[in-house]
Amino acid sequence: MLSATPLRPDAEGFFGPYGGQHLPPHLKAIMDEIGNAYLSIRDTSDYRDELADLYAHYVGRPSPIYLARRLTAHSGGARIWLKREDLNHTGAHKINHCLGEALLARHMGKTKVLAETGAGQHGVALATACALVGLPCEIHMGAIDIAKEHPNVTKMKILGAKVVSVERGTRTLKDAVDSAFDEYLRDPQNFFYAIGSVVGPHPFPMMVADFQSIVGREAREQFPKQAGKLPDVVAACVGGGSNAMGIFSGFLADPGVRLVGVEPSGVGRDVGKHAATLSYGKPGTLHGFHSYLLQEMAEGQPDPVYSIASGLDYPGVGPQHAYLKDSGRAEYYAVDDAGCLDAFMTLSRTEGIIPALESAHAVAWAMQNAAALGKDADILVNLSGRGDKDADFVADKLGL
Ligand SMILES: *Cc1c(COP(=O)(O)O)cnc(C)c1O
């Protein structure tokens, strides 16, 4: 029987059958070292106080919860509330875990922090955290993405990160992962590979979920004060699953609160252009962990994925989400590009809040389900990031 509230994995990093460390022994040893270092400082007051201080005075936490009245009226049903992670320094939830990872890397005496980035969001958040703690940072990014996402590349450079242009393969995210990982393997003892979501081998899904749990803890405390009750539904977009895990964690122990993860169905499953892993995938192993995987084209091989929101573009998903899906504690649905764009524009024009295209998927689910849930219901949406980065793209796409 699966427990409904798996807050932490077992000692081997498993959430039921999912997670673990599917790695060669020498890398497993390094991951265990990171896990042990993390467990040894996680509950020390020095580490907790430093992180809490940065959350409060650097990130600007707690982020507010806001009742979107005009969006609610427009959607014609349940009240829609937003957890405003878009108001964090750097404009999204990613700074929450990048700070935790950078502090851990510094504690372990690492000499360089490495990561890949797709659209550059993880790269910018990590470069920010590394500038703050004074650690060298190296970001691998596909040459195609570098050309497309110029503002983020510029930001990373200003923040002092080395940006490596990846020229192999399709010159996009997947190749950037391979390239960054090759560099990491040159000296895993001294380098720290900062994973950007609740994915990868143990201990990363556990650590990143811990760092993001601040979102859920705040929301669990804030919401009843403002609404007089708990939300009926908590919704969040799911790429790797970190912002969703963050807000879900605050409500896992409240059986009356539905947890809804929203994946991108892109331009449709029938044409194979989506990234809805939990909706359409099945169990498989990728990047050192076992979870759901999109593998419709060839068993065991990740499918090419697509979403209008590049931050949701991943063929796997965090193992804790796989567990929450199988146990029935969380539900996962897909929203397509058109629904996402509609939510992007509607939230902008009813509330004056331009959401990230990633977050707009969760807003779209709330808009599409508000009427059926009814006027007495409350939906809390994690607004994972702001949409400045997407403004030009959307304006172009819609001919504004
Ligand atoms: C990266 C990103 C996501 C997707 O990552 P998760 O780990 O699924 O949260 C969602 N929203 C924004 C704004 C992002 O930058």
pLDDT digits (tens, 9 = 90+) for 283-312: 999 999 999 999 988 888 888 888 899 889
Whole-number pLDDT of residue 308: 92
Q: Where do the domains of the chain lie?
A: 14-56+94-205, 60-91+214-398
**Nearest CA owner, ligand 1 atom 5:** 239
Asked if domains 14-56+94-205 and 60-91+214-398 share a fold, the reply is yes
CATH fold for domain 60-91+214-398: Rossmann fold (3.40.50)
For residue 94, the ligand 1 atom closest to its alpha carbon is 15
Task: For residue 84, report the distance from its CA to the centre of ligand 1, in Å.
Answer: 14
Of the residues 83, 93, 211, which should be mutated to test ligand 1's pocket, given the most ligand atoms within 8 Å of the CB? 93
Higher pLDDT, 227 or 148: 227
Which phi and psi (to 5°) does residue 70 adopt? -75, -30
Q: Name which residue sits closest to atom 3 of ligand 1, judged by CA.
A: 311
Q: What confidence tens digit (pLDDT) does each residue in 194-253 have? A: 999 999 999 999 999 999 999 999 999 999 999 999 999 999 999 999 999 999 999 999
Q: Give the residue ranges of DSSP H helices in 251-318.
A: 277-280
Q: Which residues line ligand 1 (CB under 6 A)?
A: 92, 94, 121, 197, 237-243, 311-312, 356, 358-359, 384-385
What value does the mean pLDDT take over residues 12-16? 96
User: What confidence category does residue 351 fall into, taking pLDDT thresholds of 50, 70 and 90?
Assistant: very high
Q: Which helix (H) or strand (E) holds 157?
A: helix 150-158
Residue 266, pLDDT score: 93
Q: List Cβ neighbours of 148 (8 Å cut-off, separation of 6 or more).
A: 119
- Average pLDDT of the chain is 95
Which residue has the CA at smallest separation from atom 1 of ligand 1?
311
CA of 160 to the centre of ligand 1 (A): 23
Q: Does domain 14-56+94-205 have CATH number 3.40.50.1100?
A: yes
CA of 26 to the centre of ligand 1 (A): 30
Q: How far is the CA of 374 from the centre of ligand 1 (A)?
A: 29
Mutate which of 199, 215, 237 for ligand 1 pocket (most atoms within 8 A of beta carbon): 237
User: Of all residues in the chain, what percent carry a pLDDT higher than 70?
Assistant: 98
Would you state the pLDDT for residue 301?
A: 87
Catalytic machinery residues: 94, 116, 384
Average pLDDT of the segment spanning 68-72: 98
82-103 pLDDT, tens digit each: 999 999 999 999 999 999 999 9
Q: b/e per residue, 263-289, with b = 16+ CB within 10 A?
A: bbbbbeeeebbbbbbbbbbeebebbbb
Is this prediction's pTM over 0.75? yes
Predicted confidence at residue 271, as pLDDT, reads 77
pLDDT-derived band at 8, boundaries 50, 70, 90: confident
Going by their DSSP bridges, the two strands 282-286 and 289-293 should be labelled as antiparallel
